[in-house]
């Protein structure tokens, strides 16, 4: 028999009805991966992009060189932000199911990514989020009511009814407008960072996408420009294993880690346990210091698992093992940080229950306030005249005419 080439199709470890199998996820023990100096050359720390930086071990202890030694109060804030994110997600999911909002995307199981990274950056750093980064909005203190009004496309919607739910933005809080198209924010963040460097400011840009989106050309443009100009940017690939039904192997994750694209382009690449709050915080802090001291960009791959459906329009039971999430080897980010805080004597089950109840009440009260500004079906509505504004800074003649025609149509 002569050998022949044969089209290779990436293997999906467990389809519906099969036993979950995460043997493909390469793990490193907590504390095992060395922490290089922030000014180390990319080529001299290649293993960082294939090993897995972890701080929290299975006993809830924080170990090894990446331990960020945060104050207990900071950890409690992180836990609070993560739990608020999840509480908000759960409630908004229910509101979508109840027909109050048209669409929703949860970040279940990925809360540490946005919350720890958001906390590790400065308020003056510009964030270019994807659509599963609501934790960034929480960290930056965007009132839940504002987020909810965006979901409702109501009279207080920051987007004036122009965007699908979850495509938030906040200029005042340096949160860029979420596109809804995949990957486009990645090279934009690089451009923002290039401008910061041109102006000689020490702010950096950070951006997020899923591993599935890294297949897009924009991902590669971002890495190329970031590397060429050594832009102060942190490029985050959230590897949650699934892009709707497309397994990470189809984005090229089977042959090489996503973090390894970093050294491939001549920049630092770090693969980190995305469900380990402390590890995520530590690598982000490292990348931020590197960027601010002229060391250029870092690509961080955050290894996590998409605990929920892609969106409210998706049903993962049709393409992956139903109990997959329960077998995910890196656990749940909230439970892990909670266990650590209890272990170091800074938290308790009772305090956790009390906080959960408080956050539930906060979310419920915010929703009540948000719907007072209108929903898709009841209460006040945005004026449809707004449709014609902000296409350009000044409304051109053709839009003025169409606006008048629409008014006439509306009133007929």
Partner 1 sequence: MANMNMIQALNSAMDVMLGRDPSVVLMGEDIGYFGGVFRATEGLQRKYGEHRVIDSPIAEGGIVATALGMSVNGLRPVAEIQFADYIYPGFDQIVSELARIRYRSAGDFFAPVTIRTPCGGGIRGGQTHSQSPESIFTHVSGIKVVMPSNPFDAKGLLITCIEDDDPVVFFEPKRLYNGPFDGDPNKPAVPWSTHSKGQVDEGYFKVPLGKADIVRAGAAVTIITYGTMVHVSVAAAAALNMDAEIIDIRSLVPLDVDTICTSVKKTGRCVVAHEATRFSGFGAEILSTVQEECFWALEAPIQRVTGWDTPYPHAFEWEYFPGQARVKAALKAVMEPA
| Contact stretch for partner 1 (CB under 8 A) within 96-104, 260-268, 317-325, 396-404 | 396-404
Question: What track of x and - describes contact with partner 1 for positions 373 through 392 (by CB under 8 A)?
Answer: ----------------xxxx
Q: Is 188 in the site for partner 1 (CB under 8 A)?
A: yes
Question: What track of x and - describes contact with partner 1 for positions 94 through 133 (by CB under 8 A)?
Answer: --------------------------------x-x-----
Contacts of 209 (CB under 8 A, 6+ apart): 130, 182, 183, 185, 186, 219, 236, 237, 238
The DSSP code for 320 is S
Q: Which residue among 181, 293, 348, 384 contacts partner 1 (CB under 8 A)?
A: 181
Q: Is 208 in the site for partner 1 (CB under 8 A)?
A: no
| Two structure tokens written together for 59 | 């006993």
Comparing C-alpha atoms, which of 240, 304, 298, 300 is closest to residue 276? 304
In the complex, least distance from residue 122 CB atom to partner 1, rounded to whole angstroms: 15
The DSSP code for 175 is B
Q: Which residue among 224, 244, 342, 406 contacts partner 1 (CB under 8 A)?
A: 224
Q: In 3-state terms, the chain is what percent helix, strand and coil (to 5)?
A: 45, 10, 50
- Helix H, strand E, coil C: the string for 95-154 is HHHCCCCCCCCCCCCCHHHHHHHHHHCCCCCEEECCCCCHHHHHHCCCCHHHHHHHHHCC
| Two structure tokens written together for 315 | 């049903």
Q: Which residue among 27, 46, 195, 376 contacts partner 1 (CB under 8 A)?
A: 195
Q: Is 408 in the site for partner 1 (CB under 8 A)?
A: no
Question: CA–CA separation, 370 vs 359, rounded Å?
Answer: 16
Question: What track of x and - describes contact with partner 1 for positions 270 through 309 (by CB under 8 A)?
Answer: ----------------------------------------
Three-state SS at 80: helix
In the complex, least distance from residue 130 CB atom to partner 1, rounded to whole angstroms: 14
Residues at the contact surface with partner 1, assessed by CB under 8 A: 126, 128, 158-160, 162-163, 167, 169-171, 176-177, 179, 181, 184, 186-196, 198-199, 205, 217-218, 221-222, 224-225, 228, 389-393, 396-398
């Amino acid at each position: 028999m002569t050998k022949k080439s044969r089209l290779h199709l990436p293997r999906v470890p467990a389809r519906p009805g099969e036993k979950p199998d995460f043997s493909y996820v390469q793990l490193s023990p907590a504390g095992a991966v060395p922490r290089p100096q922030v000014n180390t050359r990319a080529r001299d720390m290649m293993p960082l992009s294939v090993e897995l930086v972890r701080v929290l071990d299975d006993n809830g202890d924080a170990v090894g060189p990446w331990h960020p030694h945060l104050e207990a109060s900071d950890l409690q804030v992180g836990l609070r932000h993560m739990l608020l994110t999840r509480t908000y997600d759960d409630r908004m999911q229910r509101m979508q199911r109840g027909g109050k909002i048209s669409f929703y995307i949860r970040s279940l199981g990925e809360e540490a990514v946005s919350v720890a990274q958001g906390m590790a950056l400065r308020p003056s750093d510009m964030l270019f989020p994807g659509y599963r980064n609501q934790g960034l909005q929480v960290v930056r203190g965007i009132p839940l009511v504002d987020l909810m009004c965006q979901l409702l496309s109501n009279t207080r919607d920051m987007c004036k009814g122009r965007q699908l739910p979850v495509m938030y933005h906040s200029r005042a809080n340096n949160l860029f407008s979420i596109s809804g198209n995949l990957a486009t924010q990645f090279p934009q963040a690089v451009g923002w960072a290039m401008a910061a460097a041109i102006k000689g400011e020490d702010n950096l840009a950070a951006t997020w996408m899923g591993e599935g989106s890294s297949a897009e050309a924009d991902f590669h443009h971002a890495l190329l420009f970031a590397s060429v100009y050594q832009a102060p940017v942190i490029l985050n690939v959230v590897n949650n294993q699934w892009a709707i039904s497309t397994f990470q192997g189809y984005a090229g994750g089977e042959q090489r880690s996503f973090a390894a694209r970093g050294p491939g382009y001549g920049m630092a690449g770090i693969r980190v346990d995305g469900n380990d709050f402390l590890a995520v915080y530590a690598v982000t802090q490292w990348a931020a210091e590197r960027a601010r001291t002229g060391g250029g960009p870092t690509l961080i791959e955050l290894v996590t698992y998409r605990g929920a459906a892609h969106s409210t329009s998706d049903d993962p039971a049709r393409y992956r093992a139903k109990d997959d999430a329960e077998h995910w080897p890196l656990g749940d980010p909230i439970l892990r940080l909670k266990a650590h805080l209890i272990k170091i004597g800074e938290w308790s089950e009772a305090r956790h229950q009390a906080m959960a109840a408080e956050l539930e009440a906060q979310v419920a009260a915010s929703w009540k306030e948000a719907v007072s500004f209108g929903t898709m079906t009841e209460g006040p509505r945005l004026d449809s005249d707004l449709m014609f504004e902000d296409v350009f800074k000044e409304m051109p003649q053709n839009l003025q005419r169409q606006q008048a025609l629409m008014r006439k149509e509306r009133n007929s």
